[in-house]
Structure 1
Amino acid sequence: MGLKAFLHDLYTTRWLVLVSTLLFCISIVVGWLSTGAIQSMLAQQIEGLGGVAQRLQQSDHPQWSFFVFIFFNNAIKCVLVIFVGALFGIVPFIFLIVNGMVLGFVVHLQTDMGRSMYEVVVKGLLPHGVIELPVLIIACAFGLKFGIKVMSTIGSSMGLKRKGNGQTWEIFMKQTLTVSIWSVILLLIAAAIESGVTYRLLSH
């Protein structure tokens, strides 16, 4: 469960982390260039988040409200996306694509509204994003791994692949537990930064 185990688990899943990173980056570009139906879908996502942000801003303790919402929203989603990946990796794939597109769309929208790229990216995204985005990518990578593991097991039971190949379920479940715990810890730090540092930077 320690940091060394977490880093080892990342290393053993490095190719899926790389694939997830590439998918996320491509999705950001798609979100930036989006038009028509895709743009409308992303705009609805942003509108929903904007409504939540407005309610949190009007609370008695805005920064604390933002912290609680950001942490639980991100932590629950990232842990769920790992385990729901058992459904053949469909959910983590969609989650990765949608979040990348939303990010690309938001950055583009903010720059179109007159904000500088420095303000949007350096002040609004990097302080917490340097932790939050890698965690999102790692969670999706393990969700995809879960889906691949399930498909491999089904294939083995049908005689399409020799049993005993690859990682055992016991080792894999220990990995998912370790990654889940460290994801929550890192997202706690990211939420503190976003509700503290990022909040103050964008308020000035």
Structure 2
Amino acid sequence: MLKLSTFLKDLGSIRSALIWSVLLFVAGIGAGWVSTGPLQEILLNQIGGLREVSERLEQGGNVQWNFFIFIFFNNAIKSVLVIYAGIFFGILPVIFLIINGMVIGFLVHFTTNNGASLFDIVVKGLLPHGIIEIPVIIIACAFGLKFGGLAFRSLVQLGSAKRQMLGKQWETFLKRTLTASCWIVILLFIAAIIESTITFSIVRG
């Protein structure tokens, strides 16, 4: 059940949710890129909060280890939670995708407007770990969206003749979420290693 081949096969069962997750994430990036006014202030506060966390992590003895622990547990816990929080009709995964996309879009636009190189930000700052981390987060949210869709169908069809069929769908889907959760944690572990070593070293010069 926990084989990588099983996980990859399960992704095919959530193809529509994956497409929607990508679209929502891209829409978030676009919204963050063009954000102004109150929305811009919210995003600046988000980035400011991340900067404060970064400064606190740098005060420890082993800075890279501090970053690894924070990045891994922060991403892993949120990603697994967003799968199962999808039971509330997929609302949280939608919000999670849009906000994360907006933060990236705004951060890239804001820093390039202040003289930073787009190549450095994307290729050096995001790509090394983001090539794993971003798709994994999108996959987690896609499972959350699928969870929400199944919950909605179960509510609509409550008491109907299709109830037994829905029970089997729930059983199959919950097994898939367990497999997905394991591989999401493994992949985010790898991404955290890359971000706390390779990305950390590149960004710090």
| TM-score, normalising length: structure 2 | 0.96
The answer for unaligned runs of 5 or more in structure 1 is: none
Q: Which residue of 1 aligns with 2:121?
A: 120
Q: CA deviation at 1:162?
A: 3.4
- Does residue 96 (structure 1) correspond to residue 97 (structure 2)? The answer is yes
Q: Within 5 A, what are the aligned runs for 1:78-157? A: 78-157=79-158
Q: Which residue of 2 aligns with 1:27?
A: 28
Deviation string for 1:170-196 (max 9, x for gaps)? 111000001100000000000000000
The answer for unaligned runs of 5 or more in structure 2 is: none
Deviation string for 1:91-143 (max 9, x for gaps)? 11100110000010111111122110110000000000000000110010100
Structure 1 consecutive aligned stretches of length 4 or more whose deviation exceeds 6 Å: none
* Distance in 2 separating the partners of 1:119 and 1:32: 17
| TM-score, normalising length: structure 1 | 0.96
Letter paired with 1:142: F
Q: Within 5 A, what are the aligned runs for 1:118-197? A: 118-159=119-160, 162-163=162-163, 164=165, 168-197=169-198
State the superposition RMSD in angstroms. Answer: 1.3
* Distance in 2 separating the partners of 1:45 and 1:135: 22
Between the two proteins, what is the percent identity of the paired residues?
53
* Distance in 1 separating the partners of 2:111 and 2:121: 7
Letter paired with 1:55: R
Structure 2 CA distance for partners of 1:165 and 1:55, relative to 1, 3 Å: closer
Partner of 1:114, secondary structure, is coil
* Distance in 2 separating the partners of 1:92 and 1:22: 13
The answer as to whether partners of 2:154 and 2:166 remain within 8 angstroms in 1 is: no
* Distance in 2 separating the partners of 1:175 and 1:132: 20
Q: Which residue of 2 aligns with 1:52?
A: 53
Q: How many residues align?
A: 203
* Distance in 2 separating the partners of 1:6 and 1:34: 36
